[in-house]
Structures are given as C-alpha cells and as structure tokens.
Structure 1
Amino acid sequence: MPKLSPADVPEVKLDSAAASIEASLPREVRRGLFEKPGTTVVAIVELTSKSYTGHAEGEEKDPQVKVRVTGCEVARSDEDAAALLDAKRAMWRDRQIEGTLDEIGQGPRRPDAALLDITATKPTEDQLKEHRRQIEDQRRAEYVR
C-alpha cells in the first residue's frame, strides 16, 4: 500500500458496481424515482475501498481511491427517513465541533444515538431468524399438502 504524506488527500471515486443499491430499493421506490424526477430517497450506505493509485517517485499523479457500495438499506417510511436525516445532521454537527468543517456549533458527541429510538421499534436479529423459520415451516407444510 502506498504511503501518503500528511498533506496528501486522496480523491475518492465511486465504482460503477451499484448492485447493492438496486437490490435495496423496493419496487415502489424504484417506480417513484422513475415517475417523479427529483425524488430523494434516504439510505444508509457502506463503502469499501477496492483499488487505488498511489505515488510513484517522480510522477505527478494525485492519489486516488475507488470505493464500491457494498451495503445499502433505503428508508421505506417517513419515520425512518427522518431518523436517518437526524443522524446525518448530528454527524455534521460533530464534524463542526471536531474542526473538520469551518463553522463551530453545538451537537451530540454520539451521533448514532439519534437512531436509538427508531431502531428500538425495529425487529431484532433473533426476531428475523424466527420469522424466517416460520416462513420455512409454512413452505414445508404447503409442500406436504
């Protein structure tokens, strides 16, 4: 892996593979994006670095890293979208306080806390496993008939 000097800030490029975004968009959201140009959806996105160009001695090329969306979940309700937007604003305020933005403002030290209330009403991993087990049991019962 190339070593960067403290002054180097790599340019980030988005890889064209967007399958995880498409897979996370329910049918009604896809239709809405197509039928109503300018529609906005709110999502949680995971990015993974996939390739980079580094420094070769004597080369004037700027460092660059290519990232791919490797996980994505789209808000399907106004409540979920509002919670995600609140978390985004909290993280933005945190960056202001940490000095990575020009303005100074008040904000929580734990931006993820903005999601605690909304995630408390969502199914747990155990509930999801139980749901999948019930679906599988139903399929088996229908197959036996």
Structure 2
Amino acid sequence: MFGLMLFLHFAGLAAWFGALLAAAVTLSVGGKQAGSPELRAAGVRLIRVFQGIGHTGAVALLVSGVVMIISMDLGKNKPLWLEVMEKGGGTVILLALVVLGMMGSRLMKRLAEGRQSGVRPSRYVAAVSVFLVLIASVMLVVSIKI
C-alpha cells in the first residue's frame, strides 16, 4: 500500500510541476500576441488542459501524502523535513489550487469574451512562477532531509 501511495505521490508531483511549467512557458511565449482570435482560443484550451492535468496531479499529491503520513504513525517525533513536507507542501498545494483555479478561470473568461484590455496572461504566468519556486523549495528541503 505504501509503495502505491509513493508512486502516486511522485506521479502527482511530476504531473503538477510539469503542467505548471508547461503553462508558464507556453503562455509567456504566446501571451505577447494575444490579439488574434485563434491565439485566444488556443489560450483557453491550453489553460483548461493544463489546469486539468495540474489540479489532478496536485490532488493526487495531497491525498497520497496524507495517506502516507498517517500510515507512518510517527506522532510528534517527526523530523524537520517531514514537517516541512507535511505543512509547507500541503499549504502550497491548497493555495495553488485555489489561487490558480480562480486566476485561470478569470483569464479563460476574458480570453473567451475577446476583450482587448487586460487579456495579457502575465499575472497568471507570474503566479504560476511563484508556485513553481515554492514547490521547488519544498522539494529541496525534503530532498536534502534537513
């Protein structure tokens, strides 16, 4: 059971991190030419697909992490890296789901309506980039096991 949860944990992390990274790179490159209807439609599809993959990966990461921590049954004797992964990682996941979900749906709505003002996805790309740095920070602390 623990092995399956560990696999889901790493698969969820890869899907989430990869979807966020791909969305940030693709939107930053294509965001400069957001005026054409084809690019706006592609932007809506891109955000929808990457949010679907990313949110699914984040939920899998969160659920598998909770199951693994409960099954370890360490009580209050957890090392610092496990505390960071549990509290910091869980907080980053929940914040990312809420913030990026709201910002992504707002951006998709603006792109679908074809508004010319405020359509640039730079704020969304900046928020995605912040979450990528936070995810990488948690991964660094966990991987060096402080």
Q: TM-score range by the shorter chain?
A: under 0.3
Q: Which of the two has greater strand per residue?
A: 1
* Structure with more relative contact order (C-alpha pairs < 8 Å, separation 6 or more): 2
* Structure possessing the higher radius of gyration over alpha carbons: 1
